[in-house]
Amino acid sequence: MKIIRFQLNGKWVEVEIEENMTLLDLLRRKLHITSVKRGCERGECGVCTVLLDDKPVYSCLTPALKAEGRSVITVEYLSKNGKLHPIQEAFIKSGAVQCGFCTPAFILTTYALLKENKNPSEEDIKRFFDGIICRCTGYVKIIEAVKIASELCNQS
Amino acid sequence: MALFYQIPKLNYHKPKNLNEALKLLKELGDAKPIAGGTDLMVDMKIGRVKTRNLIDISDLREIRKIEFHKDSIIIGAAVTLQEIINNERIRREIPILVEAAENLGSWQIRNVATIGGNICNASPAADMAPPLLILNSKLKLSSINGDRVIPLEKFFKGPRQTELMVDELLTEIIVPRESCNAGMKFIKIGRRRAHTLSIVAVAVAVRTMEDKIEYVRIALNSIAPTPIRAYKTEEELIGSRVNEVEGKVKKLIEEIKPISDVRSSAEYRREMAVKITIDALKMSIENWRCKEK
């Protein structure tokens, strides 16, 4: 057992964990953040995506201890005081959510993408989304949501 | 609770510097270095790799550098693929590394997966291997007792088998500058374009003089137990005219041994290996001509 200290959605947390634990299990089973989904568990499907120091990573392939001293962001971080983030508004507006299982991963990846590139082209969006599978295949609406999100974010 | 994949109990070590890491590697005996973990974590989950000790090397400053020297470019083993893609000087001076990195895994993978990990995992389908092979790259293997430098083509021993001793760590990838002076091209075929393993990939480097090939390097993955250089085909091509390459590359099938697996049949691999090698050669020749102007 080891004690790990890291920033979860902007707040420092301290947890005692097994050294063989993945970041996915730390978030879901220890901290009960179930927006981080358990999918393929082997880095194929992308629904376990979180931001580690602002970069999208697969939490299922990340040893929990890699988070030590770093920032972990899940989708809970985005809405503030009951107000949704423009990216979340955009996903609602374009109807980019079907079953919703991949949505947190796509929203977080959009958040990271828009930090790097304020006006991504359709090609950029597709390239940066190569790591998440929407099993409802709702990609057209998801790409549309990112375009709307980039407009909304640039306005505010 | 055995509901999900479970990694067996282990000790997770986080050394503060390279020396400490090498010491641990020697003392523990059975430890596995972990960088991005994108291959290793899966291997541990499915039981292909068993270890009681992981040594996290991903933050070691000594192996996270990219250095541009007069005769060589040195890439630290723990440099991530995304860092290679984002590095403007690498993009300018060794664009083929960027091409290969951009087609590997997904953004989530590239953010943490390292160039050293791709080599050390020694998958027959390693995407960074063909470009590094045609660049005549060398590897620095370090242990607490000292370093040794070997050519990359001597490193691969079989599927997931390498020249690394248990107490050794790949620390640097050394790309000689003179190898960068060529026209190059990387082509990969997968079952789809994004986040896919290679069915076959090729990297080519070429220099021509008066329409004759005077220097050529060809390397492929996924058509043999390890990524390989196509020495015989290279020999065949040396001195031949640019418009003769198509016929000469047919020889390639004599030196590759593809197998059938979930991604492709051996026959398809064989045909595509020849096809993309011809394409890559033609494009490399074109790239060399542009470079020479």
In tens, the pLDDT along A6-34 reads 999 999 999 999 999 999 999 999 999 99
- Residues from B contacting A (CB-CB < 8 Å) are 4-12, 14, 34, 37-38, 41-42, 45-46, 54, 56, 58, 82, 105-109, 111-112, 194-195
Same domain? For A107 and A70 the reply is no
- Which of A49, A74, A99 delimits the end of a domain? A74
Residues of chain B in contact with residue A65, where contact means CB-CB under 8 angstroms, are 12, 14, 56
Task: Suggest the residue from A58, A59, A68, A134 to mutate for an interface test with chain B (most B CBs closer than 10 A).
Answer: A58
- Count interface pairs A-B at CB distance under 8 A: 87
Residue B2 pLDDT exceeds 70: no
CATH of residue A8's domain is 3.10.20.30
- Whether A103 maps to a domain, the answer reads yes
Q: Once rounded to an integer, what is the mean pLDDT over residues A99-115?
A: 97
Name every chain B residue with its beta carbon within 8 A of the beta carbon of A60: 41
Q: Are residues A16 and A45 in the same domain?
A: yes
Query: What's residue B3's pLDDT?
Result: 60
Confidence bin at B203 (pLDDT 50/70/90):
very high
pLDDT tens digits, residue range B141-164? 999 999 999 999 999 999 999 999
State how far residue A59 is from chain B, nearest Cα, in angstroms. Answer: 10
pLDDT for B194 equals: 84
Q: Choose the final residue of a domain: A54, A74, A94.
A: A74
Inter-chain touch B41–A66, beta carbons under 8 Å: no
Long-range contacts of A98-103 (CB under 8 A, 24+ apart): A98/A134, A98/A136, A98/A138, A99/A135, A99/A136, A101/A37, A101/A39, A101/A47, A101/A135, A102/A37, A102/A45, A102/A46, A102/A47, A102/A132, A102/A133, A102/A134, A102/A135, A102/A136, A103/A75
> Residue A64 sits in which domain range?
2-74
Distance from CA of B39 to the nearest CA of A (A): 8
Q: Is A106 in the same domain as A141? A: yes
Indicate whether A7 and A59 sit together in one domain: yes
Using a CB-CB cut-off of 8 Å, the residues of chain B touching A126 are: 194
Mind listing the domains of chain B with CATH numbers?
Answer: 11-56 (3.30.43.10), 61-178 (3.30.465.10), 182-292 (3.30.390.50)
Residue A7 shares a structural domain with residue A52: yes
ipTM of the complex: 0.97
Q: Confirm whether A66 is domain-assigned.
A: yes
Provide the CATH number for the domain around residue A146. Answer: 1.10.150.120
| Residue A130 maps to a domain | yes
Domain count, chain A: 2
Q: Answer yes or no: is A81 within a domain.
A: no
Lowest mean pLDDT segment, chosen from B52-56, B88-92, B192-196, B264-268: B192-196
B14, B34, B108 ranked by CB distance to A131: nearest: B108
Percent of chain B with pLDDT over 90: 94
Where does a domain end: A74, A109, A135? A74
C-beta atoms of B5 and A42 within 8 A = yes
Task: Give the chain A residue nearest B105 (alpha carbons).
Answer: A131
User: Do A35 and A66 lie in a common domain?
Assistant: yes
For residue A80, being part of any structural domain is answered with: no
Question: Does one domain contain both A53 and A8?
Answer: yes
pLDDT at B1 over 50: no
A61: which chain B residues are within 8 Å (Cβ-Cβ)?
37-38, 41-42, 112
